[in-house]
Amino acid sequence: MLTSELFAGDDLLERIAADGPERISRFLNDTDPAVGKVQQALLLWNPAILPFHGADGTYGSETAAAVVQFKTLELQVPPDQLFDDVGPRTVRRLDEIAKAAEPPPEPPQEQGFVRQDVYQLQPPGAPVHPILAAYAVAVRELKRDAGPPHRTWAHHTQVHGMNPDPGDGLRNQCQHFCWYFLPWHRMYLHAFEAICRAIIVESPDVDDDTKATWALPYWDYDRDDTRELPPAFREPALDGAPNPLFEPARDLGINSPVQFRGEPAPRLARLVPEQTTAQGWFLSTPYSNPFDPAFAGTETGFNHASAPNAVPGPLEITPHGSVHVFVGGRFGKMSDFNQAAGDPIFWLHHANLDRLWEVWRGSTGLGLDPSGSRFIDRTFDFLDASGQRIQPSCGSVLNLANLGYSYADTSIPASAGAGGPMDDPNRGPQPPRERRRPPRRVGAADEPVRLQGDAATVEFATDTPQTRGNERFLVSVEHISADDLPNAEWGVYLQPTSGEPVLIGTLPLFGLRESRRTDAEHELSYQFDITELVNRLDAEGRWDPDRFRATLAPVNAVPEDAEPDPDVVIGTIALLIQ
């Protein structure tokens, strides 16, 4: 099989190279189109070898003499075996020379790369898709940790988190619990993806089509058939070698089936709908607020929890934090800021969050991108594919067209509960929302709440106004501390005056380890917007304005072999009105 652009596909040369009986000589095939190609290849070997006729397409005496010279010098053919024709060894070696002389493949233009759903690429039971195989090639190369910093897995892991802070402005830069969470991770993924693509383009193990189209896949876990870790990330081996996408430091049941408490048979761990639902983030607006999280987190300075008002947005809580802790568990990498990006699934998880931001931007958040200079001009430092330091700004990453990629699917998730105006494709930009005043407490638990056993309850009197206006209702769960991550993720449920409890949100506690360090800036706090829920319950006559009742309970199953649950304490649970 000939591989050079010059020889590949030429029937005569292919047959000769395959040790066929045909030859090119002064008497056989002397004017075949293959002659001109052989002459061009000879000129690549020695530009002065056809001084009179060049590559004229005719196998004359000059070409015959050049072939003899080539066989003598390049193929080391003994004089007694020399013939002036073109045979298999000559074709194969000239093909290699022509291939080597070809310019290196250009990295594809950064236009139109499409990030695809990992479960669409490789459903359970299917062979590893070339896009995922190429990702494995890039991760394997990075995990050698042998190149310059931007070509090492350690660097990309440390960009997210590193303790102590090296102070170089490149590492330990992750943004959480604030409005920079989404743009910073978009920049982070874009830089990482470009470096992976550069490695993939250089790799002989990846086919040209994949090289031309490769983009980071995403893991859309908010469907019943995608709630387990994607198969390609669970297998310890790939093509007989260690699988670079496999990470042993994950929670029980993530990589292989385990027995869960109270269940009849072992199985893989599965995300539950409470951990992936779009209900929390989809209807949240505006993008951010100074004193409450809105869609993307409170407006703060650099880094997580750098201000008393630092609270994550609903997308950062669920599914972001939930999936981190689901995969990482109590001891795995994904649960730790400093190690999370060291698990190859991290990048697919954040690609999905980046996609969900696009879903929001195209529906509920249409026209609601932040525009102030504190956001637009805020820059962060990264290394690009050539190792150069770059400083993209938040404003420069708002529009995906500027970054050269898109997502295969940005339709509204079924769990958003949309339908009606949000699905209207002609829905215009939303009017700017007025800047809100800080929400005020109208009631709070007067002592800490301990999460132990199967459930906890909290109940307190409230001072909500008797006549309803257009208030916003928020539930604030503040100052959460624990010895360690609990085995299950706890949910907060509002207890109406009648009927079943209704989910307010979950407490994934991603960042708990960091919050327990001696130099931690904060304990964990979450806020949940329950305005729609209160309006609905009020209309149904099931909302008590004078009393707040909530139940807290685990939302997912716990493996039988899990460690005993640690003590988790919530400093305050409060109802706020804005």
Partner 1 sequence: MAYQDHLLTWVVMVPSMMLPTTVPHVRYVGFGTRAGRVQRSILLFVLGYLTSWLVPGLLLAAVPLPASASVLAVSALAAGAWEMTPVKRRALLRCCRTWPVRYAGPAADASAVEYGMRHALGCMVISGPAMAVLMLAGHPWWAVVALAVVMAAQKLLTRPQRWRALVALAWLAAGLAAAGVAAFG
For residue 290, give every residue at least 6 positions away whose Cβ sits within 8 Å of its Cβ, in sequence order, or none.
298, 299, 309, 435, 438
Site size with partner 1, rule: CB under 8 A: 35
CB of 515 to partner 1, least distance (A): 10
479 binds partner 1 (CB under 8 A): yes
Tokens read off for 375: 């956001």
Q: Of 53, 39, 34, 315, give the one whose Cα is nearest residue 185.
A: 315
Q: How many CB atoms lie within 10 A of CB 531?
A: 16
Interacting span for partner 1 (CB under 8 A) from 40-48, 257-265, 304-312, 495-503: 304-312
Handedness of CA 239, 241, 246, 251 (dihedral sign): positive
310 binds partner 1 (CB under 8 A): yes
Interacting span for partner 1 (CB under 8 A) from 88-96, 188-196, 331-339, 436-444: 436-444
Q: Which is nearer to partner 1, 115 or 160 (CB)?
A: 160
CB of 393 to partner 1, least distance (A): 15
| CA 363 to chain centroid | 22
CB of 288 to partner 1, least distance (A): 17
Burial class (CB in 10 A: 0-12, 13-18, 19+), 51: exposed
551 bridge partner residues: 457, 493
438 binds partner 1 (CB under 8 A): yes
CB of 521 to partner 1, least distance (A): 5
Interacting span for partner 1 (CB under 8 A) from 10-18, 234-242, 437-445, 504-512: 437-445
Residue 416 φ then ψ, to 5°: -70, -20
- Exposure string of 302-312, with b = 16+ CB inside 10 Å and e = fewer, is ebbbebebbbb
Interacting span for partner 1 (CB under 8 A) from 39-47, 343-351, 445-453, 557-565: 445-453
CA distances from 405 to 208, 400, 402, 436, 494 (A): 19, 6, 8, 35, 41
19 binds partner 1 (CB under 8 A): no
Q: How far apart are CA 304 and CA 190, in angstroms?
A: 21
Kindly write out the interface string for residues 83-122 of this chain, putting x where it contacts partner 1 by CB under 8 A and - elsewhere: ----------------------------------------
Q: Of 143, 317, 347, 355, give the one whose Cα is nearest residue 233.
A: 347
Interacting span for partner 1 (CB under 8 A) from 308-316, 322-330, 419-427, 487-495: 308-316
**Cβ–Cβ < 8 Å for 549, 333:** no
448 binds partner 1 (CB under 8 A): yes
Q: Which is nearer to partner 1, 474 or 492 (CB)?
A: 474
Q: How far apart are CA 23 and CA 150, in angstroms?
A: 50
Binding residue for partner 1, selected from 519, 539, 541, 564, defined by CB under 8 A: 519
Q: Of 119, 69, 112, give the one whose Cα is nearest residue 94.
A: 69
573 bridge partner residues: 477
Q: Which of residues 274-293 bind partner 1 (CB under 8 A)?
A: 291
CB of 503 to partner 1, least distance (A): 24
CB of 518 to partner 1, least distance (A): 6
Q: Which of residues 536-575 bind partner 1 (CB under 8 A)?
A: 571-572, 574
Interacting span for partner 1 (CB under 8 A) from 36-44, 115-123, 383-391, 517-525: 517-525
Q: Which is nearer to partner 1, 416 or 552 (CB)?
A: 552
Binding residue for partner 1, selected from 152, 289, 303, 487, defined by CB under 8 A: 303
Binding residue for partner 1, selected from 460, 516, 544, 545, defined by CB under 8 A: 460
Interacting span for partner 1 (CB under 8 A) from 154-162, 266-274, 358-366, 432-440: 432-440
Q: Which residue has the tokens 């408490």?
A: 261
Handedness of CA 419, 422, 425, 427 (dihedral sign): positive
168 binds partner 1 (CB under 8 A): no
- Which contiguous run of DSSP H or E holds residue 137? helix 130-143
CB of 471 to partner 1, least distance (A): 14
304 binds partner 1 (CB under 8 A): no
521 binds partner 1 (CB under 8 A): yes
Q: How far apart are CA 435 and CA 308, in angstroms?
A: 19
Give me the residues that bind partner 1 (CB under 8 A), please: 165, 167, 291, 301-303, 305-310, 438-444, 446-448, 460, 463, 478-479, 518-523, 571-572, 574
